[in-house]
Amino acid sequence: MSYSDGTRAVHAGLPEPVVGGPFLPGPVFAAPYHLDPADGPGDNGYARTEHPTRRNLESAIGELEGGRTLVFSSGQAAITALLLAVLRTGDTVALPADGYFTVRAFAEGTLRDLGVKTVLVPTAGPYPSFDGVRLVLLETPANPGLDVCDVRALAEAAHAAGALVAVDNTTATPLGQSPLALGADLVVASGTKALTGHSDVLLGYVATNDVALFDKVETWRKQTGAVPGAFDAWLAHRSIATLDLRLARQTQNAAAVAEFLASRDDVTGVRWPGLAGDPSHEVAKRQMRRIPGVVSFDLGDEQRVARFLAASGLVFAATSFGGVHSTADRRAQWGDDTSPGFVRFSCGIEDTADLIADLTAALDEA
């Protein structure tokens, strides 16, 4: 039977019911396990390579993404594992020019030192020829500018040139879009953000239906050890059950916040792909099942951003996004190539009317 997103999120990765047992068994805190003296390990031998709590989480994310999944200790651990497992000296990788800046820094440092060439491509285009490119990494919606690209069209172009395609699905989440179904070879994401949504877990993952690619990334993880701990894996799995509900309120809040900000003459550069008239609205409407709860805008300078955040009673000044609490982040302070007053605003699950009232008062005071 085919279930809706909410049902899938609630039941994803749960083991078969055991009488007297919990719906989601608690985390298994073990590094080594008892082995069969004659035959060696069964399902579990050593926690770096096999772990039951981690397998349950991978099953849950895999059901939502539509591919076999490997989880990592952070989003950065996942994306560097993908890049280093796939790329070799002499290869070229195409990265989003407006995507997560630490990935570009990794490419311009570690990958360059390994002899891998990087081509930076804006998410909204124009796009170069992918001839001679080994891997095309897309990030859509891009973080923090929120441009959206047509995954299916770019995957077709990249495959025609012989390139692999990976999509960073952090902002959208697997309930927002399905990159593997759109033609991508791999999905990578930070589960720290909206997937787990409670601002208490560091997590990343890679998903694919390509057996050879899966084996490469899994071998990399086994040999480097970038695995999440048992409790983090359990917290993440527990949190996924409410993903559909959290995203629904965050999207509702983002729609109201974007419209409110766009109506003010003291706020510029409002971006949200769900907003009619946004440059990415049409492709997002075709490609995405829901628009994430992240809005970007500009308040002119860093002092005004600081006054706005100090005046707000509901919005926390914090980096990261996708949590149940509304947060705002002046991205230039972290090295992003943004203007001094650029704000990435992550809508939480507060009551919509309360959030708009708080933003109104804070902007008026700022």
Q: Which residues contact 261 (CB under 8 A, 6 or more apart)?
A: 267, 270, 295, 297, 359
Cα gap 183→156, rounded to integer Å: 7
CB contact burial 171-196 (16+ within 10 A = b; e otherwise)? bbbbbbbbbbebbbbbbbbbbbbbbb
Question: Same structural domain for residues 207 and 108?
Answer: yes
> pLDDT at position 256, please?
98
Question: Same structural domain for residues 180 and 329?
Answer: no
Choose the final residue of a domain: 185, 216, 240: 240
Question: Same structural domain for residues 195 and 302?
Answer: no
Q: How confident is the model at residue 41 (pLDDT cuts 50, 70, 90)?
A: confident
Question: Same structural domain for residues 224 and 264?
Answer: no
DSSP assignment, residue 16? P
Domain containing 75 — which CATH number?
A: 3.40.640.10
Choose the final residue of a domain: 206, 240, 274: 240
Question: Same structural domain for residues 283 and 152?
Answer: no
Residue type for 333, please? Q
Q: How confident is the model at residue 40 (pLDDT cuts 50, 70, 90)?
A: confident
For 42-86, the pLDDT digits (tens) are 899 999 999 999 999 999 999 999 999 999 999 999 999 999 999
Task: Write out the H or E segment, with its range, that includes residue 331.
Answer: none
DSSP assignment, residue 111? I
Cα gap 149→284, rounded to integer Å: 8
Q: Is the pLDDT of residue 336 over 90?
A: no
Question: Same structural domain for residues 283 and 183?
Answer: no
Question: Same structural domain for residues 230 and 272?
Answer: no
Q: Is the pLDDT of residue 150 over 90?
A: yes
Q: How much of the chain, in percent, has pLDDT values that exceed 90? A: 96
Domain containing 276 — which CATH number?
A: 3.90.1150.10
> pLDDT at position 269, please?
98
Question: For the chain, what is the domain count?
Answer: 2
For 311-334, the pLDDT digits (tens) are 999 999 999 999 999 999 999 898
Question: Same structural domain for residues 175 and 36?
Answer: yes
Choose the final residue of a domain: 240, 262, 285: 240
Question: Same structural domain for residues 323 and 206?
Answer: no
Question: Same structural domain for residues 169 and 75?
Answer: yes
Cβ–Cβ < 8 Å for 276, 262: no
Q: Is the pLDDT of residue 119 over 80?
A: yes
Cα gap 8→333, rounded to integer Å: 38
User: Domain limits at 165?
Assistant: 5-240
Question: Same structural domain for residues 224 and 319?
Answer: no
User: Average pLDDT, stretch 261-276?
Assistant: 98
Question: Same structural domain for residues 291 and 200?
Answer: no
